[in-house]
Amino acid sequence: MAEINEHNIYEFILQGRDREVIKYLYKKTFPTVKKSLLRKKASREDIEDVFQEAVMGLYKMIMDHKIEPGLNICGLLYTISINKWYNLMRKNNRQVLVDFQEDESYHTLSEEIGDWFLAKSEKNLLNTLFVQIGQKCIEMLNFTIYQDLSMEDIRYRMGLKSEASTKMQMKRCREKLWEQIENNPEILNRLLEYV
């Protein structure tokens, strides 16, 4: 019988080996979620609640075949947990402590791109822009722009080796995006019509 790991969680759930999966997820992912949310001043009770809801949501998504096999399940669970906590904070009208990066160009880029995502029609324009920078860069920019995640959180989700390599990859992604913006002024002009 195979031992559970990050790559076979999907199959274990479909085989009904829930106890092994839950034990593994609590051992592997919960400490990272807890650490991230404690930094954001979450209560231990809220952390446990959102993680449990996230595990149940993940389980349902797998059983309903809404997730493709081979996806980073631990990273997805981490993302779901953090998003559920943000939703809980919004629902309870509580302020959220956000760990912003100190890089000034990051803030400028975040504000400019964040403002662009206001309407669905803009997404098609942005997809035209983003198709050239690659899926990994899109994910990484999404984590920084929309989810305001720290480099440590992004490193964990993306499976990168160190925070330094994460920062370097982020810098390259921003440079690729700026290059695309400079090379496609007509797309930028159309996007600016929405602002």
What's the pLDDT score for residue 117? 37
Give the largest Cα separation in the chain, rounded: 59
Q: How many helices (H) and strands (E) does the chain have?
A: 11, 0
How many domains in the chain? 2
pLDDT digits (tens, 9 = 90+) for 69-96: 777 888 888 888 988 888 888 887 665 5
CA atoms within 13 A on the CB side of 132: 15
Res 130 pLDDT > 60: yes
Average pLDDT value for residue range 94-110? 41
pLDDT at 195: 45
Distance, in Å, from the CA atom of 148 to the CA atom of 141, rounded to the nearest integer, reads 10
Q: Which long-range contacts (CB under 8 A, 24 or more apart) does 14-23 make?
A: 14/62, 14/63, 18/59, 21/59, 22/55
Percentage of the chain modeled with pLDDT above 70: 75
Looking at the domain assignment, is residue 98 inside a domain?
no
pLDDT at residue 46 is higher than 50 = yes
- What pTM does this model have? 0.50
Q: Per the domain annotation, does 159 fall within a domain?
A: yes
Q: Do 73 and 147 reside in the same domain of the chain? A: no
Residue 173 lies in a domain: yes
Q: What is the mean pLDDT of the chain?
A: 76
Percentage of the chain with pLDDT > 90?
A: 14
Question: What range does the domain containing 131 cover?
Answer: 104-192
Query: So what's the pLDDT on residue 127?
Result: 64
Q: What is the CATH number of the domain that holds 112?
A: 1.10.10
Q: Is residue 3 part of a domain?
A: no
Is residue 105 predicted with pLDDT exceeding 80?
no
pLDDT computed for residue 64 by the predictor = 83
| pLDDT(54) > 80 | yes
Let me know if residue 1 belongs to a domain. Answer: no
